[in-house]
Amino acid sequence: MKVNIMHGTHPRALMGWLLLVWMVSLDAQAFISGNLECNVTRSNPDGYTFQAGAEMRIPMSGNCTVKRPFPKGASVNLQTGHVLGANPASLQVMDFYNGSYLSELPLGSYGVTCLGGPCKRLALGSTISYVYVVAGTAPSTPGRRMSMVTLGVTSSGYPNYAEWIHNITITYDVTAVSCTLSTPSAVNLNFGTVSNTSISGQTQSTRVSVNCPSDVRASVSLTPSQAVVDANNGVSRTTLSGLNMKATWSETGNPVTFSNTRTMYMNAGANNVNLTFRPQVVSGQSPTGAFQSQYTLNISYQ
């Protein structure tokens, strides 16, 4: 605010002063607490464990005695916050009384959602109970996280009467999902009867199906039981002298590199790891007889 003041000292001699007054607005609201006295549930002190991508459901409930009347009801306030860990779950609080989720609302604000059900007058000495569920989806990557959820009330129509009544700290560990094989753990491929002149054109392919409950990043490797001839090109010996076997990834045609793992991103649901095998006659050899070539497919994920 700026005020100009003129002060007269003589009809023919006027002097002026400029008075500047700065007014600072202080946004400080003192809430009146002690409106409810509550006994509330606490979070599990040992924390919680969820598989990656799993549903998270953590109850929070309480029973409160009214210490100061609420003429129009105790409107619910909510705040959530992340404390520890990367890529935390996005948490919401399920409101079964209204078939929805509670809105995040600071103290001193009130809406149409009230503690424990419909908004109504709460008389001095009356009791009110509530049950809510903190809900979310566990992150896709393993690790420990920590979040906080705080529940409060504001007297509807009387914003100064407000307080936090229930705070829980949620510590949760996320573990890697358990994928399962939907194909047999052992697969037999039969090349039949072939000649040395046509064997190089013969191939056999197999598909290994993996089901995952959520998206995962997998490391896939193929290890031959027989001696490796060329690790970079996926060539190993067979049980028949003079005959080797070459392994390739079917969808790309690239050779399997025995010395490295392949990163594959698997989606929730069915996924396939496809392999193709091609016999190779060693130069200058004419092998005759039956042969075998064995491999172990390893799939690790997180």
* 166 and 232 both lie in a single domain: no
Residue 252 is classified by DSSP as T
pLDDT of residue 192: 84
Q: Is residue 30 part of a domain?
A: no
What letters, b where the CB count within 10 A reaches 16 and e where it falls short, cover 62-93?
Answer: bebebeeebeebbbbbbebeeeebeebbebbb
pLDDT of residue 29: 63
Q: Is residue 9 part of a domain?
A: no
* 222 and 125 both lie in a single domain: no
Q: Domain of 215: which CATH number? A: 2.60.40.1090
pLDDT of residue 276: 95
pLDDT of residue 301: 77
* 124 and 185 both lie in a single domain: no
d(Cα 214, Cα 176) in Å, to the nearest integer? 10
Q: Is residue 100 part of a domain?
A: yes
d(Cα 221, Cα 36) in Å, to the nearest integer? 61
Q: Is residue 10 part of a domain?
A: no
From start to end of 123-224, where are the E strands? 127-137, 143-155, 158-175, 180-181, 204-212, 216-224
Q: Which domain-ending residue is among 126, 145, 175?
A: 175
Give me 266's structure tokens: 């698997």
Task: Report how far Cα 220 is from the mean position of its chain's Cα atoms.
Answer: 24
Q: Domain of 84: which CATH number? A: 2.60.40.10
Q: Which domain-ending residue is among 123, 147, 175?
A: 175
Q: Is residue 23 part of a domain?
A: no
Q: Is residue 153 part of a domain?
A: yes
Q: Is residue 22 part of a domain?
A: no
d(Cα 181, Cα 200) in Å, to the nearest integer? 31
Q: Is residue 14 part of a domain?
A: no
Q: How does pLDDT run along the chain (302 residues), one tens digit per residue?
A: 222 223 233 333 333 333 333 333 333 468 999 999 999 998 888 899 998 888 999 999 999 999 999 999 999 999 999 999 999 999 999 999 999 999 999 999 999 999 999 999 999 999 999 999 999 999 988 899 999 999 999 999 999 999 999 999 999 999 877 788 888 888 899 888 878 777 777 899 999 999 987 778 889 999 999 999 999 999 999 999 999 999 999 999 999 999 899 999 988 889 999 999 999 999 888 888 999 999 999 998 76
Q: Which domain-ending residue is among 175, 205, 230?
A: 175
What is the distance between the terminal CA atoms of the chain, rounded to a whole angstrom? Answer: 63
Task: Report how far Cα 51 is from the mean position of its chain's Cα atoms.
Answer: 9
Q: Give the chain's domain count.
A: 2
pLDDT of residue 75: 97
Its domain, for residue 87, covers 36-175
* 42 and 163 both lie in a single domain: yes
* 232 and 199 both lie in a single domain: yes
